[in-house]
Amino acid sequence: MTNLGVKALLSWVNSIKLSDSEIRIGDLQDGANLVKLISVLKKKPNPSLSNSSEDWVDFVAEFLE
Kindly report the average pLDDT of the chain as a whole number.
83
Residue 65's pLDDT band, with cuts at 50, 70 and 90, is confident
Q: The dihedral of CA 62, 58, 61, 16: what is its sign? A: positive
Q: What is the pTM of this model?
A: 0.68
CA distance linking residue 26 with residue 51, whole number of Å:
19
Residue 2's pLDDT band, with cuts at 50, 70 and 90, is low
Closest C-alpha to 29, from 49, 62, 58, 6 = 6
Phi-psi region at 9: left, alpha or beta (left = phi > 0; alpha = psi -120 to 50): alpha
Asked if residue 28 lies in contact with residue 16, where contact means CB atoms within 8 angstroms, the answer is no
